[in-house]
Each structure stands twice: as structure tokens, then as C-alpha cells.
Structure 1
Amino acid sequence: MRADSTGMTPPDRIRTIRTSSDQGRWEMAFCTPQPQLRPLVDFLVGYDESDTRFTRRHELPGIQAVLIVNLGAPITIIDTAGHVLRIGSGQGFAGGLSEAYAVSESDGSQRGLQVMFTPPGAFRFFRLPMHRLANRVFLLDEILGREAMDLIARLQEAPDWARRFDIMESVIAARLAEPSSAAASTAWALRQLQQSGGRLPIAALADEIGCSRKHLAAQFRDHVGLAPKTVARILRFQEVIRLIDGMTAPDLAELAVAAGYYDQAHFSRDFRALAGLTPGEYLRRRLPGQNGLPVG
């Protein structure tokens, strides 16, 4: 399956951002998925960064699973569980949801293509219980076998981001065409948590579905990867990041209340556990348009 009848991703689905500063140079091409993939893929992005003043950063947690194909220099990932994975040029890796930050290391440049899956999309694409991927990253060929090598070879030969997005979407669409055992109630519960910004009580969510909290947690373990309470915690954190990034001089105490934290101490403690830095350090180090946070 191709992205459209021409076999090329339409330009109106691609938004490119180029940034140059004392921190380095970036090009990021964001692709909105074709309509039939949007419930399962949040977005795709091609990135090319060089001459960065840092070689190490924290990759912040979110409610997506990731697939990345490295098209540049070797990089190293230290996942949330502490495992170290070296990814050479022409290799790919994948990971599920994480309950805290991971660490990426490079020589100051990175280039690759990244897919951000929703949990239901990741469950269907990787065809694995999502708890097996939670807090971890794995080489792509360990998960997809020969299909990973074929995909990476095609991406390496592609002349531009539009063609790479087209190739990636065709592979995703083919794998998602297979029947899935994912429970619709789990996807619904996840949407309710997302829409509430992580504020919806888990007991109320289980009552609405008509199951026990234990059963809901088991469903989340298989189809999302993390417990509902942990997902809610990440959603609150994401809301804070969204609010901070939209302000020049945010009031952190007000943000804590707006995002549903009990008090500023709860907010600061949670933020540091998830980001690896304090809110003030995040404000000083954040990069425009990116999820990563330079630390060295």
C-alpha cells in the first residue's frame, strides 16, 4: 500500500523546521500520517542534526512507542531499565512506553527516521505484549527479523524525506492490516485518560468499563505496557511540558496546579523523576521543537 495514488507522500502532510543556534543545527521534517493510520500513529519525523554542543541528552517519556532507523553516525541508547544499546548507521531500534527518561549519546550529530506509535498501534505493529517492550529498547531486527533489514535498505536508498515517509507508511499499513486481539475497552480507557490529562481516577475508569482495577491493569500491561496509574502520571508530566513550552516565563506553582498536581513539592518531585532534571534546569536547557533535553 502506498500513501496515495502517486506513491509519494503529499507535501501538505509534511512540515519542515530548520533551526540554527549556538546549540547546533537541526532539520526536522514532521509527517502527519495518512488518514487510515492516524488512530495508530501519532506522527513520523525525519531528523538531521549536526554540530551540537552536547553529545548526551535525556529523552523524555511520553504515551507513544517508538521505532527509529539510524541513517547517520552511530549512537548509543541507555534505556530506562539501564541497558546499553549501540546502534550503528543502517540499524534500527524500537521501544515501548517508558516510565522515566532514557539517555541518548552521539558524537554531536544524528540523522534518522522516527515513528511515534500510539499504544494500540504499537501493539498491532510489533505483535508483542507491550510490557515486553516497556522501559526497553531493542534492535529492530530482533523484533521484525528480515523485514527490518529490507525496510532499512529501502530507507537508505530513498532520495528524500517524502519518499522515506511513503516507504515507512506502506510497511506500517501492511502490518496493521492483520487482525488484532487488542481489546477495544483498553483503547477507550486510554483515550479517557488522555482526554482528562491523567486526572481521571483509575477506580472510576474501571467502574465505567465494568471491570476490576486488577483486570484493567492486566489489560494495560498487555496492550499499553504500563499500569494505568503510571500512564496517568506521564500524561500529567506531558501536560506540564506542553504548558512550559508555550510560555517564556512560566509560573511553576501555577503550572503544577493546572496540570493536576497536589502541590508544588509533588510536582517538582515527579518532574525530576521523569525528566532527570528539575523544572528550572529544564527551562534553561530545553530545545525548540524537540523532546530531548541536552545534559552534556
Structure 2
Amino acid sequence: MQVKPSPGLSGIVKHFLILENDSSLMLRIFSDGNTGMVFNGGDSLYRHECNAPSHEALPQSFIYGQLDIFQNVIASGKIKLLIAVLHPYGASALLRIPAFQLKNQIIDTITFPFLRTETVLDQLDNAPHMLDKIRIIENALLSALRQPVTSNVLATNAVHLIDQCHGGITVTHLASALNVHDRQLQRAFEEHIGITPKRYSGIARIQYFLKLLRNRSLETTLTDVLYESGFYDPAHLNRELKNLSGLTPGQYMNGGNLLAANLIRLP
């Protein structure tokens, strides 16, 4: 379930996402190009790195930066997550930290006193409904945003243009459209997005393909979706999707395992 943010937060929050499930699961999470803030009201979550000998317990509330690699998360029991899905530049702007320092990072929100998350977590425990919980988080974010937030018009405009083109634009054409040099664009992404514009464009194109795949009609073939999303070679698509998510198109769509666009229930 998605809930739109209040107008005062729309510049940093894309939407709120509510995820609930009654049993333990292994989940695959991969990048959708956004950053986020997670509040866990259910049982413990654990991050499992590939080939790691043990699991890492995740904080009750945390912020994640750009995910450049897919990760597995183990839910030990009931899932009850409330996620503030932030814009690609949202985590960096909110925390006032260079985005490249947040890449592939999961950080306990208690690290940042101005977010008042200890108080927020207490309030969330006592809130009866999810919409009440969202309002509590919104109030905390609005309070935090009273301080000046670092923003970058170039990075913001570049992200919007890439999204409009569904990732189908080269870095050279992007820089030309924005009337800047390639290197200037690269620096803006490093500082405010956390990944390169080429990488963000690749993620945007894969996410557009997955959106078309989820919404296709019975008459629409996988090849039709592939071409419409800008891929001309199935092998290239499979390689890019595997690199981003560790999954094939068939595994992505298998058996109603989608909990969110970039969150998949694993066998």
C-alpha cells in the first residue's frame, strides 16, 4: 500500500510504503534508484551478505542510501514495515551528508539526534493505525527540515530528465541538455545522488522494463516489453537485470512473490 506524503514533504518523500506479512521470509531487495527511511514495527530483520558466515541484525529504524548491489533480508517473523521512500537525493539532503558516503549503507536513525527517532519510535508503538504512524513520521521529518537542507538543482533536474526518458539517454546527451560538462554532472551525482548518472540511467531503464512487465496484457509478449523499454538484445537485458537484482525476468514475476517493485520473496 502506498500513501502520498503531505505537500510540505513532497520535495524529499516520494511516498510512504506499508508492507505487512504474517510469516518469516527471505527477501531480495535491489535498487529502484531511490533512497529511504524504514521503521520496523514487526519482528527482527537481518541482512544476509552473500558468502557471509552470519547474519547482521538491522536496527529498528534505519536510513539507506543508494543500493548499487542487491541484498537479502531475512524477516524472522511478522513483517510490519513503514517505509518513507525518499527521492534519489532525499537521504543525502535530509542527513546533510555527501551521497557517496551513504552508498550501500544502512544507518541507524538514532545516529542523527535531530530526527528524534527515539521519541518517534515510542509514538509509533502507541499509534493505533498506519495512517496515524505516517503522520507521526511526517511531523518528525517536517521538524528536521526546518533547518536548511542542502539541495542541488543540477542533480535534481538531471534525475527528472532521466526519469522522463525512462533511462534512455546517454550521459553526453544529458549533459548537453542541461548545458553542463560531463565532469560537472558526474560531480553533482557523486555529491547528491551517490551513484554515477550512467548507473542511475541503467537502473531507471530496468525499473521501466519491470513496470511494463508487471502491467502487460495477456497479448503483450516479453519481447514487446523488451523493445518498448529500450532493450534490443534479450541477452543484454538479462545481464543488466541479473547484475541489478540477481534475478531473471521469469524469477521476478514468479508466483506472486512481489511485495514491492524492488522487494521480492525468495523461495
In the superposition, the TM-score normalised over structure 2's length comes to 0.90
1:95 is matched with which residue? 64
Equivalent residue for 1:283, pick from 216, 237, 253: 253
> Structure 1 residue 49 and structure 2 residue 18: aligned?
no
> Structure 1 residue 38 and structure 2 residue 10: aligned?
yes
Whole-Å separation in 1 of the counterparts to 2:163 and 2:140: 27
Point out where structure 1 has 5 or more consecutive residues left out of the alignment: 1-27
SS of 2:116's equivalent?
Answer: helix
> Structure 1 residue 260 and structure 2 residue 265: aligned?
no
2:188 is matched with which residue? 219
CA gap of 1:173–1:255, structure 2 versus 1, over 3 A, is same
1:78 CA displacement: 3.7
User: CA contact under 8 A between 1:124 and 1:175: conserved in structure 2?
Assistant: no
Equivalent residue for 2:109, pick from 136, 140, 149: 140
2:91 is matched with which residue? 122
CA gap of 1:158–1:173, structure 2 versus 1, over 3 A, is same
Write the letter of the residue equivalent to 2:62.
F
Q: Map Cα deviations across residues 53-102 of structure 1 (whole Å, 9 max, x no partner).
A: xx21211311211111111111112479x8953136xx211111112322
CA gap of 1:232–1:266, structure 2 versus 1, over 3 A, is same
2:241 is matched with which residue? 271
2:32 is matched with which residue? 62
User: CA contact under 8 A between 1:97 and 1:135: conserved in structure 2?
Assistant: yes
CA root-mean-square deviation: 2.2
User: CA contact under 8 A between 1:285 and 1:293: conserved in structure 2?
Assistant: no
2:213 is matched with which residue? 244
- 233-242 or 71-80: which moved more? 71-80
Whole-Å separation in 2 of the counterparts to 1:293 and 1:142: 29
1:240 CA displacement: 1.1
Write the letter of the residue equivalent to 2:23.
D
1:162 is matched with which residue? 131
1:177 CA displacement: 2.7
User: CA contact under 8 A between 2:47 and 2:72: conserved in structure 1?
Assistant: yes
2:120 is matched with which residue? 151
Write the letter of the residue equivalent to 2:231.
Y
Whole-Å separation in 2 of the counterparts to 1:46 and 1:284: 22
Equivalent residue for 1:183, pick from 145, 152, 162: 152
Equivalent residues, number: 263
Whole-Å separation in 2 of the counterparts to 1:224 and 1:167: 27
CA gap of 1:169–1:133, structure 2 versus 1, over 3 A, is same
CA gap of 1:93–1:37, structure 2 versus 1, over 3 A, is same
1:121 CA displacement: 2.7
- 128-137 or 235-244: which moved more? 128-137
Q: Map Cα deviations across residues 31-70 of structure 1 (whole Å, 9 max, x no partner).
A: 2111222232111123321036xx2121131121111111
Point out where structure 2 has 5 or more consecutive residues left out of the alignment: none
SS of 1:119's equivalent?
Answer: coil
Whole-Å separation in 2 of the counterparts to 1:285 and 1:225: 34
Q: Map Cα deviations across residues 6-36 of structure 1 (whole Å, 9 max, x no partner).
A: xxxxxxxxxxxxxxxxxxxxxx4x3211122
User: CA contact under 8 A between 2:42 and 2:77: conserved in structure 1?
Assistant: no
SS of 2:260's equivalent?
Answer: coil
In the superposition, the TM-score normalised over structure 1's length comes to 0.81
